Chain A
Amino acid sequence: MILEFFRWLQNTGFATAFRESSLVYPIVLTGHLTGMGLFGGMIAITDMRLLGWAMRSSSITDVVRQLRPWKQIGFVMVVGCGAMLLAAKAELYYHNPFYWTKMTLLMLVGVHALVFHRSVYANTEELDRALKVPVKAKVAACISLFLWVGLVTAGRSIAYWDVPEDIAPVYSSTAPTPAIATANETSLRSRVWSGSKRSLCCVRTTRQKLNGLVST
């Protein structure tokens, strides 16, 4: 059922147009990363403040409250751009174990919020009044840091999973993806490889580019 949904998703007019555009796709990727640049470190700073390592001259309340709206904007940016990237090639993501690892971690981020929001992130005044930051808050901070680094790791790993040869995504539109985008994505992907295959591909694409030669 999920597979059918993903197939439908990648064949919506929007996803098709997006997949086949050579410019919009990298722009959305940039948005995905800029969003991370906006809020990734803010999460780290919030958690480091709870652990007592960053911004100690500000109260926990100040740090959490001031960062909250910006983290929310960053999160919406990342998820919005991420959803577009998913829609473009949904079926390939469906088969990718790292994609599901990432989604599991994202779900755990939600669970983390359910468990700790009230007692830690929405309870900062009490944390500030306490002589020492309670263990619970520090545990929450550590788990949060692990989850987010895990998310980045799983996210990056998505690109390093070799698509098995028997998986052929069903696209309703047969228009070729722009040659430039495909060529370069392939050269990027071809670094991904198993062992020696990678260095060979890597060297080969470089040489081809430099010499303007077709593979022999």
Chain B
Amino acid sequence: MQIQIAYDPATNPLNNNEWSFPLLEIIHIVGFAIAMSTIFMVDLRLIGIGMRRRLASQLSKDLAPWTLGGLAAVLMSGPLIFSSDPNMYLNNASFQFKMAALLIALVYQYTIHRKVAFSDPSPVVGALTGIVSVALWVSVVAGGLFIAFV
């Protein structure tokens, strides 16, 4: 099924100069690196293989603003990138996958993951929570990369 919205990408200023699109991609990448690293740091602690000098709850609290800042950069640059060619993205299976994974990852991050990290869980619960988190975020990245290849 083809989704098509009436929108002419040629009217989008992003498509009419050389630098804005790559600039947005760079913001997207730097933002995702900061968000993902800081989420991974908490995950490593939850799994019990890294950052063990801090409690998961302390680590989570220290890093929360960085995660949020990174996510904000990603979530602002992403829709702008999307606007450069919405019909292509909407019909791209990998993009659809990415959006689904992103939604789940975000909800997970701010509900289960947050709750578990703040409660300094038992090793098994922590490990499970951390592994699910890593898997979700890697899926989001893979979904993004594959947009250009499916």
Contact = CB atoms under 8 A, between A and B. Distances in A.
A163 interface: no
B37 A149 contact: no
Contacts of A185: 148-149
Given A37-B40, A38-B40, A203-B9, A160 B18 contact: yes
Interface of B: 2, 4, 8-10, 12, 15-18, 21-22, 25-26, 29-30, 32-38, 40-41, 44, 50-54, 58, 62-63, 66, 70, 84-85, 87-88, 91, 137-138, 141-142, 144-146, 148-150
A26 interface: yes
A41 B34 contact: yes
A22 B149 CA distance: 8
A174 interface: no
Interface stretch (A2-10, A116-124, A194-202): A194-202
Q: Is the interface of B mostly helix, strand, loop or mixed?
A: helix
A12 to B, nearest CB: 23
Contacts of B12: 199
A141 B82 CA distance: 34
A152 B52 CA distance: 30
A interface, size bucket: 35 or more
Given A66-B50, A180-B150, A181-B149, 10 more contacts: A33-B29, A41-B40, A54-B63, A54-B66, A57-B62, A70-B40, A185-B149, A195-B16, A205-B88, A206-B88
Contact of B17 (A184, A192, A195): A195
A100 interface: no
A190 B9 CA distance: 14
B34 A199 contact: no
A84 interface: no
A34 B32 CA distance: 10
Interface of A: 22, 25-27, 29-30, 33-34, 36-42, 44-45, 48, 54-58, 62, 66-67, 69-70, 149, 152-153, 156-157, 159-160, 180-181, 184-185, 187-188, 191-196, 198-200, 202-203, 205-206, 209-210
A184 B149 contact: yes
Contact of A202 (B18, B26, B51, B85): B85
Nearest to A28: B145
A15 to B, nearest CB: 18
B87 to A, nearest CB: 5
A29 B142 CA distance: 9
A55 B54 CA distance: 11
A67 to B, nearest CB: 8
Contacts of A45: 37-38, 41, 63, 66
A187 B138 CA distance: 25
Given A30-B141, A70-B44, A202-B84, A194 B37 contact: no
